[in-house]
Homo-oligomer: A and B are copies of this chain.
């Protein structure tokens, strides 16, 4: 995967380590509940769950969450067209205020794909 995705994952891990130093059982349970929600089990395939997480993150305008779900979407072989349709729903629901985040989402996606080649 791309160096920008790698850089993002490393920074995320570094900060997670600091957070977990302070976190007690409730925060740890939240982290575990969070990862359970996107697990490849149940009725919806993991790919769809990651797209749901991506759209939720986009309308709430959280760049870090968007990058995380883009990385997972890439692993799940989401196509450019599927990504575009999901992000255009996020844009229509969330308004022009999401545009700067969606621009950066496409840039991150573009980088992931370039490095992959």
Which A residues have a C-beta under 8 Å from some C-beta of B?
Answer: 12, 15-16, 18-19, 21-24, 26-27, 29-31, 33-34, 36-38, 42-44, 48-49, 51-53, 55-62, 64-65, 79-100, 102-104, 106-107, 109-110
- Closest chain B CB from A27 CB (angstroms): 5
Known: A18-B107, A52-B89. 18 other contacts (CB 8 A): A16-B103, A19-B102, A23-B84, A24-B84, A26-B37, A42-B85, A44-B85, A53-B93, A55-B55, A56-B94, A59-B97, A60-B97, A62-B100, A64-B100, A91-B95, A92-B96, A93-B97, A95-B98
Give min CB distance, A117 to chain B, whole Å: 16
Closest residue on chain B to residue A108 by CB atoms: B18
Of B27, B38, B62, B103, the residue contacting A19 (CB under 8 A) is B103
A26 contacts across to B, CB distance below 8 A: 33, 36-37, 88, 91-92
Q: Is the interface of A mostly helix, strand, loop or mixed?
A: helix
* Chain B residues with CB below 8 A from A48, complex form: 48, 51
Closest to A59 in B: B56
Q: Which residues of B contact A55 (CB under 8 A)?
A: 52, 55-56
